[in-house]
Structure 1
Amino acid sequence: MVSILYVEDNEDNIYMLSTRLRRKGYEVIVATDGEQGVARARSDAPSLILMDLSLPVVDGWEATRRLKALATTRDIPVIALSSHAMPGDRETALAAGCDDFDTKPVEFARLLAKIKALLPRETIS
């Protein structure tokens, strides 16, 4: 089963997106702050990471930088999820190492297409 690490501190967002991803057949691992997200990525080796950018303890930008600096996690695709919709936010997320960027509220079909585009071919069912 393809696993997705969802790093998010808002319980409503966690419930909504996790439920929809599980219905599509993905295993969802949750971390509620950036530090926990880095630790879970290292221990669980997910196929992909959905990273909120405004997180407690360590923000999503820094968590992504840390993940991309580690040999064991650098190749895991990261999609930044953020309510930040200011000009330049996408570029800032990509510069931090994110592989793609999407805005909240999540448009599920669009996010699912981005997930499928970043997953290795052998993991897509």
Structure 2
Amino acid sequence: MVNIIIKYVVVLWAPLLTLTIANCYIFFFERDIVKQINNSGGLYVRYIDDIFITINWPTQHLFKQIDRWNKFDLNIKLKAEVSHSKNFLDLYIENINGELFTKVHHKLSYEPYYLPFNSVHPMHMKKNI
């Protein structure tokens, strides 16, 4: 089973293309991809411009499919990272003998600070945290 993280790049052809319109557009773009992944027993998850796919395909076949998907629309380019373990959003996902295991992943920039709003600290400190 191969885990793959795909980052897609949308070439913005209109300056007022909002996130909502982009999501609607990608929804129609990804319908055939999702159907193909689901029919193969895989898992497909997307959050904005990050896609996580896990599927039991040979790596070479997967890259051929990504090349084919890239031809659906010239404004969208899928870039793949294939591995048995990946960080996806705030998760560390690892494939061990066909089973997915997850842990919380903290980015290097993560700062676990919090301050109760009803504390005696000045307001400028509360706003900065």
TM-score of the aligned structures, taking structure 2 as reference length = 0.26
Q: Which has the higher helix share?
A: 1
Q: Which has the higher strand share?
A: 2
TM-score of the aligned structures, taking structure 1 as reference length = 0.26
> Could you say which structure has the larger radius of gyration?
2
